[in-house]
Amino acid sequence: MLSCLKLIASPPGKVVAGQALFRKQDLLKMDSDEIRKIRGSKISMVFQDPMTSLNPVMNIGQQMAEPLIEHLDMTREQARKRSIELLGLVGIPNADERLKDYPHQYSGGMRQRVMIAMALSCVPQILIADEPTTALDVTIQAQIVELVKRLREELGMAIIWITHDLGVVANIAHRVAVMYGGYIIEEAPVKELYRNPSHPYTLGLIGSLPKLYETGHTRLYSIEGMPPVLYRKPSSCPFAPRCTFANEHCWNENPPLEDIGPGHKLACWVDVKSGSERA
C-alpha cells in the first residue's frame, strides 16, 4: 500500500514492476505533483501506530487543517470548522477545545480517531487502514471497527483493511486476500473463505483461532517453521517449507493465482481436501 501511494523511501526502496490502477490511471507512473493530488484526497491512509503517526510539536488543529487547506483550498477558519465536525464524527467530545491540544494529551484510542478523522477529511474514495487497531486495547479496537463500518456506509467509500486479526476480517470485510511471502495465495468473499478455506496457510490461520463452541481442552493449531526471507525471490511455492501437503511440484514451481470457483482464487498445486494434486 505504501508503494501504491509512492511512500516507499527511494533510495533504498524501489518499485521494480507492476501497476497500481486507480480510475484507469497508473499511480506508479505519476510524478510527485500528480500523486500529491491523489494522496490524502482521493486515497487516504491510516497508519499502524497512532502513538507515532502525529507530529508531536504541532497541535491537533494544525495537523487536521493541513489536508483541508492543501486539497480543498479552505481558509484557516473553514478548515477549523470542518475539523470540529470531523472530530465529532469520530466521537471525540468537546472538539472545539480539543483542537488546541497536542498529541501527548490524547490517549492511543483518541489519537487513532484523530488519524481516521484526518484520513476522512477530504471524503476519499478509498481508505487504506494499516492494522489501525493493533496498538489499542480490545474495547477501543471494537469501537474503532464499529466506527469505520458506520463511516463506510455513511460516506460510501471502499476500505482496504490490512490486519492479522481474523476476527476483525470476519466482522468488517466483504472480500479477503490472504498473503504469504509477498504473494496473494488465496482470495475470496469473506463467507466463502471461512466456509471453504483451500490453501494450507489459510487452513492454518483459521485453525489457530480458539473456538467458543468447543468443549474440553483442545490444543490450538500452530504452523511449524519460520517465515520466508523476503529479499530472495522463491523458485518454489513460498509456503512449501512449512506445508504438510507439499509435493515435488510445489518445490519446483510457484503456483499462479487461478479461479477455483465463483469469486474464489487460489495459488496452490494441492487439493487440501483430498491431499492429491489438483487436476
Which tens digits make up the pLDDT trace of 12-33? 888 888 999 999 999 999 998 9
Amino acid at 220: L
Q: Coil, helix or strand for 96?
A: helix
CA nearest to 163, candidates 183, 141, 185, 147: 141
- pLDDT on residue 80: 94
Nearest Cα to Cα of residue 158 among 64, 44, 71: 44
Decide: 47 and 55 in contact? Cβ < 8 Å. no
Place of cell 496498538: 135
pLDDT bin (cut points 50, 70, 90) of residue 135 is low
The Cα-based distances of 19 to 15, 51, 160, 221 in angstroms read: 10, 32, 17, 37
**Is the pLDDT reported for residue 225 higher than 70?**
yes
- DSSP SS3 for 45: strand
Nearest Cα residue to 127 out of 207, 44, 42: 44
Ranges 94-103, 109-118, 170-179, 208-217: which has the least confidence: 208-217
- What pTM did the predictor assign? 0.85
Phi, psi angles (nearest 5°) of residue 53: -80, -20
Cell matching residue 117 = 478523522
Q: How far apart are CA 132 and CA 112, in angstroms?
A: 7
Q: List pLDDT tens digits, range 36-76.
A: 889 888 999 988 777 788 999 999 999 999 989 988 899 99
Rounded (5°) CA angle 274-276-277: 130
Q: For residues 109 and 141, is the Cβ–Cβ distance under 8 A?
A: no
Within its chain, how far is the Cα of 258 from the centroid?
23
What is the edge-to-edge ordering of all strands in the sheet holding 264-266? 175-180, 183-189, 264-266, 258-261
Assign 82 a pLDDT band (cuts: 50, 70, 90): very high
The DSSP 8-state label assigned to residue 73 in this structure reads -
| pLDDT number for residue 260 | 93
Q: Give yes or no for a contact between 255 and 263, defined as CB atoms under 8 angstroms apart.
A: no
164 has pLDDT over 90: no
**3-state DSSP assignment of residue 123:** coil
